Structure 1
């Protein structure tokens, strides 16, 4: 059985929301039952802190794929990790895993009406940094920022303006599942060519 590790902050953490609706790892596990899906999300975490548990929570599982979704806390005024350090921290993760095992996910926008610790102007810089890293390393990439900006993203967020509601998790999980299915098809095609 292949292993997926979902690595991130509070948007990745936990299996269910307070209302009982499924979150990222639960939705992926339900859709892709041939995968062992491990939730390695920790609330309030930045990429700097995530590096301290990267070996234990990610590498020790010898995963086939890892979703990496950070940025909401890195870009927050009270935990600020500058974009350059954010990029270096993500690069470390990519290089340790190998680009073919990484699904980089750009951070999402916030509802600024309720969210005062982060701004979309600042978060956009982190989202674009993720896009550039995906291109530089040729990793798999889910452009969550663009997907949400192009929709009515405020309707996908809880009243805190940051965390996802049921609609937000459906979008995120669907994007990750589609990406994983595409990766699996591509790998199957490559194996057929080798036969």
Structure 2
């Protein structure tokens, strides 16, 4: 059985929203019911704190894939983690797992009319950092910042201006599911080419 670990903060944590709608891992699990989908999200967490549980909550499961979504708290005024440290913390995770197992997800924009601990100007710096790391390490990548910015993202957030409602989780989970399906298809095609080459050599 394949194992997917969803590693992150409160946007990843929990299975059900307050309105009884499904959150990230619940939606992904429905699409990949033959996979072991593990929710490793902890509310209010930064990448610095995440490193303290990385071995126990991620590595010990020997996952095939890991989604990594942090930044909302790293970019907040009350828990601020410098962008360079943020990048270094993510690099540690990437190198321990191996780039081919990592799906980096950039943090999303916030509704500044409702959210006063974070600004889009600052949060976008963390989103750009994630994109740069994905390109440098050739990890899989979901540009959630761009995906949401290109839509009416305020309608995807609850009234704290940060966390996702049903529409937000439908988008996020859909992007994760689409990415995994694409990876599965690519792997199957690669195996097919390898088998064909073996036959031709024989």
Aligned residue number for residue 122 of structure 2 = 122
Aligned residue number for residue 91 of structure 1 = 91
**CA deviation vs aligned residue, 1:36-93 (integer Å, no higher than 9, x gap):** 1000000000000000000000000000000000000000000000000000000000
User: 1:189 Cα shift?
Assistant: 1.0
Aligned residue number for residue 7 of structure 1 = 7
Aligned residue number for residue 74 of structure 1 = 74
Aligned residue number for residue 58 of structure 1 = 58
Please, what TM-score do these two structures have when normalized by structure 2? 0.96
**CA deviation vs aligned residue, 1:138-177 (integer Å, no higher than 9, x gap):** 0000000000000000000000000000000000000000
Aligned residue number for residue 191 of structure 2 = 191
User: 1:193 Cα shift?
Assistant: 1.5
Secondary structure at the residue paired with 1:186? helix
Count of matched residue pairs: 195
Aligned residue number for residue 168 of structure 1 = 168
Aligned residue number for residue 141 of structure 1 = 141
Aligned residue number for residue 110 of structure 1 = 110
Aligned residue number for residue 33 of structure 2 = 33
Secondary structure at the residue paired with 1:173? helix
Secondary structure at the residue paired with 1:145? helix
Secondary structure at the residue paired with 2:131? helix
User: 1:34 Cα shift?
Assistant: 1.8
Mapping of residues 172-183 of structure 1, within 5 Å: 172-183=172-183
User: 1:33 Cα shift?
Assistant: 1.2
What is the CA RMSD across the aligned residues, in angstroms?
0.4
Unaligned runs of 5+ in 1: none
Please, what TM-score do these two structures have when normalized by structure 1? 0.99
Determine the C-alpha separation between the residues in 2 that align with 1:93 and 1:190: 26
Unaligned runs of 5+ in 2: 196-202
